[in-house]
């Protein structure tokens, strides 16, 4: 079956150079281009070749979910995922409006691929170590694990794997936490032409800045609304990893195909928003590790509910998340390619 690829971005900006550049790339590669707006998005947003959806237009994708989904929130991006599914996409790629794509942006890897694999069996891994000798770590890695992350990450074996979730890195201003930005120079260029897959029980957070999702993993795209803004994609990634293992899926990381010219941020506000992660990511790992989940595509939705229910019971995610998640699963049951 031929792949139908869609790129999804959420933005409150007028058409900037990044957003315009993706219209060109998408046209060159025959990729659908979706931008999801929010309450602050300009009413006259227009880029040729881009499908922009305002808050009002998003209700036409799924009225019940759109109505319950909070506004002024990064999780509005969920509407873009649903639209891409509704339009028959078999691959969804996501990035942000401050990441320029390189000419290799759409050169991701097949669902079934032979790759080097690292398996730490229950341990946090700083995957950035595989791409640079500099001391740097991804946003979401517990601070007390920065120095004791396994140093033998380069010792890997290659094997045939399924990788329905793939994370490309970002050059120039990669995704790191506020602690790193407050004490270090974030400018960095990662090694090129490298990739590594993380196997079962191997934990590393991944973000939403340069991420590829194949249809089997589409339910796991869901971004939670009732947690810290800076943790929504990170906690999504931890849940996705836990469910991936039940299906013998690997999370594939590869060398940068974007570079970031970061939007203006208040680093102390970022730090405040990241505190739940600093304090609780290890606890989330333990909670998710202890769940009894089932393998197979038919169980992905139930597994997702079990993971969120456990985090709600632990008071890490708000109770209002579950009705949203239920509507998400109802929507994707209508849209996901069978």
| Residue boundaries of the structural domains of the chain | 5-335
Torsion sign over Cα 217, 219, 224, 225: positive
Question: What's the chain's average pLDDT?
Answer: 94
DSSP state, residue 274: H
Work out the angle between the directed axes of helices 300-313 and 232-246 (0-180°, nearest 10).
130
The yes-or-no verdict on residue 151 having pLDDT over 80 is: no
Residue 18: CB atoms within 10 Å = 21
The yes-or-no verdict on residue 263 having pLDDT over 80 is: no
Under 8 Å between Cβ of 111 and 96: no
User: What pLDDT, on the 0 to 100 scale, is given for residue 186?
Assistant: 77
The yes-or-no verdict on residue 313 having pLDDT over 60 is: yes
The yes-or-no verdict on residue 261 having pLDDT over 90 is: no
The yes-or-no verdict on residue 278 having pLDDT over 80 is: yes
Mean pLDDT calculated for residue range 21-41: 97
Distance CA 69, CA 91 (A): 23
CA nearest to 40, candidates 3, 72, 5? 72
Which class is 5-335 in CATH? alpha beta
Residue 337's pLDDT band (cuts 50, 70, 90): low
Query: For residue 133, what are its two tokens?
Result: 């000798």
Residue 70: CB atoms within 10 Å = 13
Mean pLDDT calculated for residue range 170-185: 92
Range with the poorest average pLDDT among 76-85, 130-139, 241-250, 282-291: 130-139
Contacts of 31 (CB under 8 A, 6+ apart): 5, 6, 7, 25, 93, 106
Mean pLDDT calculated for residue range 238-252: 97
């Amino acid at each position: 079956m031929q792949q139908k690829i869609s790129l999804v971005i959420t933005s409150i900006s007028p058409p900037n150079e990044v957003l315009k550049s993706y219209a060109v790339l998408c046209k060159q590669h025959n990729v659908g281009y979706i931008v999801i707006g929010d309450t602050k998005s300009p009413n006259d947003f227009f880029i040729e070749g881009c499908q922009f959806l305002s808050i009002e237009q998003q209700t036409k994708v799924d009225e019940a979910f759109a109505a319950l989904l909070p506004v002024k929130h990064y999780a509005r991006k969920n509407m873009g995922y649903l639209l891409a599914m509704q339009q028959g996409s078999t691959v969804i790629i996501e990035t942000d409006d401050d990441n320029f794509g390189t000419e290799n942006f759409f050169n991701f890897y097949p669902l079934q691929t032979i790759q080097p694999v690292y398996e730490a069996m229950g341990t946090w891994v700083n995957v950035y170590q595989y791409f640079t000798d500099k001391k740097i770590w991804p946003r979401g890695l517990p601070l007390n694990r920065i120095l004791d992350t396994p140093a033998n990450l380069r010792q890997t074996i290659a094997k045939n794997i399924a990788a329905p979730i793939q994370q490309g890195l970002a050059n120039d201003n990669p995704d790191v936490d506020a602690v790193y930005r407050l004490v270090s120079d974030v400018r960095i260029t990662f090694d090129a032409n490298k990739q590594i897959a993380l196997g079962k029980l191997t934990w590393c957070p991944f973000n939403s800045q340069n991420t590829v999702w194949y249809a089997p993993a589409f339910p796991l795209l869901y971004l939670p609304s009732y947690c810290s803004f800076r943790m929504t994609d990170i906690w999504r990634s931890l849940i996705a990893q836990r469910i991936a293992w039940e299906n013998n899926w690997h999370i594939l990381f590869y060398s940068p195909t974007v570079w970031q010219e970061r939007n203006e941020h208040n680093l102390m506000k970022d730090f405040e928003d990241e505190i739940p992660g600093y304090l609780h990511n290890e606890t989330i790992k333990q909670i998710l590790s202890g769940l009894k989940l089932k393998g197979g595509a038919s169980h992905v939705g139930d597994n997702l509910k079990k993971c969120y229910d456990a985090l709600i019971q632990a008071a890490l995610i708000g109770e209002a998340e579950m009705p949203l998640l239920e509507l998400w699963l109802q929507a994707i049951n209508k849209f996901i390619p069978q």
